[in-house]
Structure 1
């Protein structure tokens, strides 16, 4: 995998290895593989806002009325499509203290990555586990690719294959508190677009009901 060359971005992740609110205090966790950024992000005008976001994502959402700086004018590169699609879940800045994004890899990356469980930091995985079992956590959302990698680690060997549960639009990997839901990656497009949009509506309903 390719660690991002920006030392400022790496330092931001070392201080807060997540995006959004603190995972331990979040009600809803969105777990991904790695946090991907444009290679030249330091040269883009948006970069100061990216650092501002990493310092205080809750205030950022309320100030700019978007959940992530990639949605502001001026950013070009990886990650924009993911967050543009995520915004279709129709959350608002009132949800800013409830939502956290955390990735299995603890550092920011650039380019496409084929992660293996040996790439992952055990302490970071323990941190993710603490967030999942936190008293605040109501639901966790992961894609199948994330599940497969989590399952290969000893930290998450307890997770089960996704299955349908009566009354739920999304399949679940874990059906007792917290519920761990399966969804298509938000960057998915083409023939899976309709299914993804159906799932995003289900995620909206889950979050809005709590």
Structure 2
């Protein structure tokens, strides 16, 4: 095992009931695939914990109720995942898209600390759920980092993923088209020399999600 499962049993329970964040990935129009859902090791001792459980029970209602797409944006939270969601929030998507956006991770359980995933860590049932979400009847755009792409492509279930190609008029590269469109982007926690590229990609994601509507 190349990852550290989170020690909190309640977190594992809510995660097992809904192994994703945001709206249901099957019904989502915009699906963001990450490596693992990472939380502070002492999350149950932080003020955020009741809100976190509330979020996992109904993430769509949480976003609409508090105007935040994730409880990691609350000032009381300290730990892993905060930077990712702070950067995602900068895309500028409003709560009216709460029932259209889903986050799902390649790993099927919540984690803590720094993790390096291998094929042996992955769960076939969960991978099949991700595949069902990608190819559900709901037309959708899928977003993943290169790290996620490289890990998924090693699996038998996702060997069909093509290498990313450049699509005219977009700063995002595409792994699969025409539908679903599977886009490559820099991890939202990326900083430094890749900041300009990341910001351009975030603008492209905003345009894809919002199109002619106001987010």
Range class of TM-score, shorter chain: over 0.9
Question: Hey, what does 2:101 align to over in structure 1?
Answer: 99
**Correspondence 1:17-166 to 2 at 5 A:** 17-166=19-168
**Structure 1: gaps (5+ residues):** none
Determine the C-alpha separation between the residues in 2 that align with 1:205 and 1:165: 15
Size of the alignment, in residue pairs?
A: 210
Determine the C-alpha separation between the residues in 2 that align with 1:137 and 1:70: 29
Question: Hey, what does 1:197 align to over in structure 2?
Answer: 199
Determine the C-alpha separation between the residues in 2 that align with 1:180 and 1:74: 34
Question: Hey, what does 2:17 align to over in structure 1?
Answer: 15
Runs of 4+ with >2 A deviation: none
Determine the C-alpha separation between the residues in 1 that align with 2:182 and 2:201: 14
CA contact under 8 A between 1:37 and 1:77: conserved in structure 2?
Answer: yes
Determine the C-alpha separation between the residues in 2 that align with 1:191 and 1:76: 26
Structure 1 residue 54 displacement after superposition: 0.1
TM-score normalised by length of structure 2: 0.96
Structure 1 residue 172 displacement after superposition: 0.4
Structure 1 residue 158 displacement after superposition: 0.2
CA contact under 8 A between 1:131 and 1:137: conserved in structure 2?
Answer: no
Determine the C-alpha separation between the residues in 1 that align with 2:84 and 2:27: 23
**Structure 2: gaps (5+ residues):** none
More helix by share: 1
